[in-house]
Structure 1
């Protein structure tokens, strides 16, 4: 068995913060999304690979994981998940494949997941508990642990059980990837699962509870941080005696917390930021950003920004932005 982490997308829904950084390497508490996934994979004694694109390949070189690089540098050129999976299969060779979406954060043990594998396609399923929310995903109908119906992004979901971004495909199914694509089908895992069911392939569900996040939007990114940030991580910083920190928070090296600032709860402050007389909570602030006399709530602010005299709520600010209101 081989483990393949899919990180070849350009994450346009999270632009501009993912314009120059792969989504899998976004900070999530004191780790990146990819580090959470790799910790899970380390439970298994398998070879691990990352599928990415040429534009982001260098970003992954600090990880001791072999890269499978698709030759794309723009969103318009990118392979879909199934085509990228086929590309990796051609490079790595025949085997069963544990496939994990590089933007998924989940609570279950991959060892437990793999132990449920019996040679049939295995998918991880989660109850989102809301029919409107289920419309965004592949909806699963089960009889016991057997998938009897699957519909990708249905207008009228039959259940609130959805397929997450963790799959275990046997070699027999991996051999079908080329046929699926040659038939002109949509380059998406959900539609591939539908196609497999119609061909009579049996699909087994591994159902789990607790938490799962598909980090495809600012809201899901911030919610994942709130779930996973259990304790504070504060590095070498300068902090005013009048400032207050409400845990849990992450504050990285070289940051200055000045004046009567309040940081937290659930705040990530990157390296070498300057925060002065400002309140920041439920937010992610990327490195070398300056925030003065402002209130930031449930927002994401990219690197090297300057924010002055503002109240920002549910905002996504691109890198190098300078925003201020007059004194």
Structure 2
């Protein structure tokens, strides 16, 4: 196989107040696994429309690289790490590599609508700085770029125009689906839909069965059964079974069964 096996590491914590923090967890992994190589960080719940392969290949040796996207809204930019670049210093016009002039994590008054998308490449030479910074800022992943710039270490931005969405909330997930899917129905392998009206974006996972229902802006994961239902703005995880149910703005866990008995 051309793919290496994926190793999943889980924090040894049992309560939220014992968590290491996003950057703290990365620092512990670097220390425990004795990492001595460049690292690719993909943080948060994000949909990245750009090519990760193109992003990695665009990096200059020894220079930190972050992926940035222009959201075009200063008010929304307050929620993210904002990136100010010097467009007169474009390093690679084909891949839009631009040096970062400044970085601010969730600023109250953003100077830019260009935001960090949670995708970054940190060269091995910066790992000692990450470990030091994480010790006092375990939750501030974006802050590592502020720290690198403070230490006069160059940081590049890979500016891409393909779609990007922060899908960390229920509402954002549905908004991203509507933007990407449009007013269409996407059906997975062996999905069946009969006597059903659809509006907005509707996604059916593999093996779904939808009969005599109405769906509007609905995402069904694999092997869901929906019969005699009216669902609007809903997300159903794998194996949900709904019969005779009307739902609005709900997200159902894997294997949920809701059956109305008249």
TM-score after normalising by structure 2: 0.78
Corresponding position of 1:142: 85
State yes or no: 1:285 paired with 2:228. Answer: no
Q: Which structure ranks higher in relative contact order (CA pairs < 8 Å, sequence separation ≥ 6)? A: 2
Distance in 2 (CA, whole Å) between partners of 1:89 and 1:164 is 22
Residues 308 and 124 (structure 1 numbering): CA distance in 2 closer, same or farther, change over 3 Å? same
1:215 and 2:152 equivalent? no
Query: What SS does structure 2 have at the residue aligned with 1:158?
Result: coil
Q: 1:115 to 1:315 in 2, by over 3 A?
A: same
Structure-2 residue corresponding to 1:237: none
User: Structure 1 residue 134: deviation in Å?
Assistant: 0.9
* Residue in structure 1 matching 2:106, options 132, 149, 153: 153
SS at match of 2:84: strand
Query: What does 1:176-195 align with in structure 2 at a 5 Å threshold?
Result: 176-182=129-135, 184-195=136-147
CA distance in 1 between counterparts of 2:168 and 2:147 reads: 25
Cα distance, 1:160–1:78 mapped onto 2, change above 3 Å: same
In the TM superposition, what is the alpha-carbon distance from 1:163 to its structure 2 partner? 0.6
Residue pairs, 1:9-88, within 5 angstroms: 64-72=4-12, 74=14, 76=16, 77-88=18-29
1:238-289 per-residue CA deviation (whole Å, 9 max, x = no partner) reads xxxxxxxx84312454x5534x212466322345554332121321123454
Q: Which residue of 1 aligns with 2:128?
A: 175
Structure 2 unaligned residues grouped into runs of 5+: 88-97
Secondary structure of the 1:112 match is: helix
CA displacement 1:143-200 (0-9 Å, x = unmatched): 2322222111122212111011111111121121221123x22422112222222222
TM-score by length of 1: 0.64
Structure 1 CA distance, aligned partners of 2:15 and 2:197? 39
Q: Is the 8 A contact 2:187 2:206 kept in 1?
A: no
CA RMSD of aligned residues (A): 3.0
Rate the CA distance shift 1:152–1:223 in 2: closer, same or farther, 3 A. Answer: same
